[in-house]
Amino acid sequence: MYSLEDTIAAIATPLGEGGLAVLRVSGKNAITSVEKFFDGKQKLSLAKTHTAHFGNFTDGKGNVIDEVVTTIFLSAKSYTGENVVEISCHGSIFVARKILEILLTNKIRLAEPGEFTKRAFLNGKIDLPQAEAVADLIKANSEIAQKCSFSQIKGELSSQTKKIGGKILDLCSMLELELDFVEEDYQFATKEKIVSELNFLIGKIENLLASYKIGRFYRDGVNVVISGIPNVGKSSLLNALLQENKAIVTEIPGTTRDVVEGELLLDGILFRFFDTAGIRETKNIIEEEGIRRSYEKMAAADLTLIVNDSTDATNDCSDVSKINIPNITHQRQFAKSAENSLPWISCMTADGIIRDTAKLSDFNFETKKQITVFNKVDLLSDERQNKLRTEIEHTNLDYVFVSAKTHLGIIELQKKILELTVYENGEIANVSVLTNTRHKELFGKIQECIKNALNGVSEEKTTELIVLDLRSALNFIGEITGEVTTEEILNNIFSKFCIGK
């Protein structure tokens, strides 16, 4: 059985060089144990909670290991709900390890991964969704990701989930009344009322589920693929976006053979750009492989930038169908596919290339978001530009005119990228969203149950069957809020941590 009696310690900062390293000690004897090795003005066991104390950390035999600052957190107000001491020492691996070694000789044992958080949970300081959020926060790689996890730590997801659960429970009770009090003269819920309540729930959960995608953007970042035929300036665009020379740029079509990657923070969100090989028919095996990889990236992208050379001779503005269509595709496709707002990709599909690529054969490009980028506008006369603009306005494509060379339109492109991914009404969507895969999957199941219930109502299934679906939904709610706990859930949650958290 698990013991909370032990005092545990671990290095809480990443092992590597840094200005500081922090060790964390938690448990009944945390303060008294550290005190034995701490040589400072303040007696630690008499220190108030949330106070920091400067002094020397010694090996107990008079040898000073390092100058440290110890911070005391008493159990009532500490993270773990136990006495906690945090020791900040100089950021050398050797020093931190030495301090840890000394502590471990003194009836303190090394913490297991996630054990600090587990204790916080066991001591009732946080609930399960909060514990999960801690794991996410630790991994947060952008400001928004951090905000997201933080709102979950504060219990916002729990409270939203409980609200939904409360609604389902009300509905259940209404229906149960009809089953158990058949002889009483109660006013039972009408079918209309039940249908409207169920639809309300479906909408609510739909919103939450939709927020997962954004939540995932916050947490994992957004993948944007730069794609197009050779020599339209894809690599230049990457460099312009990143403001560094990441990709090799030449005038030779087909320079980029492999995928080049670069990261950029936009409004606190991490964007990962992938510059891919230009797509054309080729006999070159290396280039062919590069093109295959381009497709692969596009399939996994959250957003694709379709880059066109606006000066391309084939871009005869009098015939919009000729714009940006690679030679290998059927030109007639454009007019038709413009209606689908996916000119380029659908042409490719029609061409058969994608169908030949087994991995992509069943991939539905049409659901993918994309921006048509007209590059090299610095070389275009105003007249031609206006003409092109007028033509493209007739389609419902999202497009931007840029010059990778002069950086003209790059800001506009960035704005467009944000709009199509993480913005809602011109600003970053609410941070109170689903970010955790486990939660998302459970909400998916909840939604399924509610939809089943709704179907049941419209198919005039009897009440006890509809209630069965709602009760299943409640069970899943319980798995999110921690009211239904199984071993698997717990293990899953605490296994995500590394030592010292």
Partner 1 sequence: MKQTKNKYDIIVIGCGHAGIEASIASAKLGCKTLLVTMSKDSIGRMSCNPSIGGTAKGQLAREVDALGGVMGKLADLSGIHFRMLNTSKGPAVWSPRSQNDRELYARKARELILSQTNLDLLEDSVDEILSEYSNEERKITGITTTYHGQINCSVLVICAGTFLRSLMHTGFSQTVGGRFGEKSSSGISPSLEKLGFEIGRLKTGTPPRIDIDSIDFSSIELQPGDDNPQPFSFQTEKIINAQIPMYLTHTNEKTHEILRKGFERSPLFTGIIKGKGPRYCPSVEDKIARFSDKGSHHIFLEPEGYKTNFVYVNGFSTSLPQEIQLYGMRTIAGLENVKMLRHGYAVEYDYFPSYQLKLSLETKLVGGLFHAGQINGTSGYEEAAAQGLIAGINAAHYVHNKEPFILKRSEAYIGVLIDDLVNLLIDEPYRMFTSRAEYRLLLRQDNADRRLTKIGYNIGLVDEVAKQRLDKKEEMITRLSQFVNENTIAPEEVNDYLKSQNEMPITQREPIAKLVKRSNVKLVDLLSVAHFESGLHLKGRIEKESIEQVEIDLKYDGYISRQKIDVEKFEKSENITVPESFDYTRVRSLSAEGKEKLSHIRPQTLGQASRISGVTPSDISVLLVYLHR
Contacts with partner 1: how many residues (CB under 8 A)? 37
Comparing CB distances to partner 1, the nearer of 220 and 483 is 483
Q: Which region, judged by CB under 8 A, interacts with partner 1, from 65-73, 306-314, 351-359, 477-485?
A: 477-485
Q: How far is the CB of 493 from partner 1 (least distance, A)?
A: 10
Q: Show the binding pattern over residues 158-177: x = contacts partner 1 (CB under 8 A), - = does not.
A: ------------------x-
- Among the residue ranges 141-149, 268-276, 280-288, 475-483, the one whose residues contact partner 1 (CB under 8 A): 475-483
| Burial of 362: CB neighbours in 10 Å, binned 0-12, 13-18, 19+ | exposed
Instruction: Give whichever of 254 and 444 is closer to partner 1, judged by the CB atom.
Output: 444
Nearer to partner 1, 45 or 173 (CB): 173
358 touches partner 1 by CB under 8 A: no
Q: Which is nearer to partner 1, 119 or 219 (CB)?
A: 119
Q: Output 123 or 311, the one with its CB closest to partner 1.
A: 123
Report d(CA 348, CA 280) in Å as an integer: 10
C-beta of 184 vs 362, nearer to partner 1: 184
Between 20 and 179, CB nearer to partner 1: 179
Using rule CB under 8 A, residue 76 touches partner 1: no
Cβ 8 vs Cβ 115: under 8 Å: yes
Residue 424, C-beta contacts closer than 8 angstroms, at least 6 positions apart:
214, 430
Measure the CA–CA gap between 268 and 280, rounded to whole angstroms: 36
Nearest CB to partner 1, comparing residues 166 and 203? 166
Of 54, 94, 181, 200, the one binding partner 1 (CB under 8 A) is 181
CA distance 118 to 80: 8
Min dist CB 161 to partner 1, Å, is 13
Q: How far apart are CA 263 and CA 265, in angstroms?
A: 7
Task: Determine, following the binding rule CB under 8 A, whether residue 185 of this chain makes contact with partner 1.
Answer: yes
Distances (CA, A) of 70 to 39, 44, 87, 103, 228: 11, 9, 4, 14, 57
> Least distance (Å) from partner 1 to the CB of residue 483?
4
CB atoms within 10 A of CB 293: 16
Rounded CA separation 98/102 (Å): 6
By CB under 8 A, is residue 73 in contact with partner 1? no
Among 46, 182, 252, 358, binds partner 1 (CB under 8 A): 182
Contacts (Cβ under 8 Å, ≥6 apart) of 158: 127, 129, 130, 480, 481
Hey, which residues between 425 and 464 contact partner 1 (CB under 8 A)? Answer: 462-464
Nearest approach, Cβ of residue 491 and partner 1 (Å): 9
Contact characters 115-144, partner 1, x per CB under 8 A: ---x--xxxx--xx----------------
Name the minimum Å distance from CB 81 to partner 1.
Answer: 8
Among the residue ranges 34-42, 183-191, 228-236, 360-368, the one whose residues contact partner 1 (CB under 8 A): 183-191
What DSSP element (H or E) covers 40? strand 38-40
Q: Does 179 bind partner 1 (CB under 8 A)?
A: yes
The residue (of 26 and 146) whose beta carbon lies closer to partner 1 is 26
Question: Any long-range contacts for 471-477 (C-beta under 8 Å, 24+ apart)?
Answer: 471/172, 472/445, 473/168, 473/445, 473/446, 473/449, 474/165, 474/168, 474/169, 474/172, 476/442, 476/443, 476/445, 476/446, 476/449, 477/161, 477/162, 477/164, 477/165, 477/168, 477/442, 477/446
Q: Does 490 contact partner 1 by CB under 8 A? A: yes
**408 secondary structure, DSSP code:** B
Q: Measured between alpha carbons, how far is 149 from 482 in angstroms, rounded to an integer?
A: 17
Cα–Cα separations (whole angstroms), residue 15 to 95, 102, 176, 343:
11, 18, 57, 50
- Residues in the site for partner 1, rule: CB under 8 A? 1-4, 81, 118, 121-124, 127-128, 176, 179-185, 462-465, 467-468, 471-472, 478, 481-487, 490
